[in-house]
Amino acid sequence: MTDTPARILLVTGPAGIGKSTLAWEIGSRLADMRIPHVAIETDELDRVFPKPSREELETLSPGTTDVSGVNLAALWSTYRALGHTRLILSGVMMHLEFDRRWITAAIPDAEITVLRLTAGDATLVERLDRREVGSGKDEQIQRTLRQARRMAAEAPGAQLIVETDGRSAREIATEVLDAVAWLTGEA
């Protein structure tokens, strides 16, 4: 176990922007440099049916109202015991202040850097056209465009905002890793 605070790179943006692809690329670059890290997609923290009730969650972790926080805390406790201090956490994060609260409840010593990915509507539609199949495709495109507009309307605050139009995941990963200074191998 280490006394070094957890450093979280919270990769967010609308659905289809490339959060997972970028998280994988950043993880690959860190692995190539032998820098310990963990990558978790927040979508996987609550992919369960049926969703647990508040009462069930209360027995697991008093005051918890969402299974995502319980699962993140459980996963992180294992990784932390193994000595990890870096976490790449990706998800849409439509309510950033709320999301910060459940993340820091799960990882109390977290220092969070928020990375918000942006792209133009044409890029988002093109990416979703490649990714989505079936009858829900048009609905997902509209939902993504609404997410992008809502996020763009928010004050940026202390976020690192990176435009993804016409850029490769490798190029963006280089920019992000330079900005967060994770390539030194130091915590």
Across the chain, mean pLDDT equals 92
Q: How confident is the model at residue 62 (pLDDT cuts 50, 70, 90)?
A: confident
- pLDDT computed for residue 49 by the predictor: 93
Tell me what percent of the residues of the chain surpass a pLDDT of 90: 76
- pLDDT computed for residue 187 by the predictor: 46
Give mean pLDDT, residues 65-74: 92
Question: CATH top-level class for 7-180?
Answer: alpha beta
- pLDDT computed for residue 157 by the predictor: 80
pLDDT at 138 over 70: yes
pLDDT per residue over 82-125, tens digit each?
999 999 999 999 888 889 999 999 999 999 999 999 999 999 99
**CB under 8 A, 24+ apart: contacts of 28-36:** 29/173, 29/174, 29/177, 29/183, 30/86, 30/177, 30/182, 30/183, 33/183, 33/185, 34/185, 35/86, 35/182, 35/183, 35/185, 36/83, 36/84, 36/85, 36/86
Give me the residue spans of the domains in the chain: 7-180
If we measure between CA atoms, which residue out of 12, 7, 15, 21 comes closest to residue 160? 12
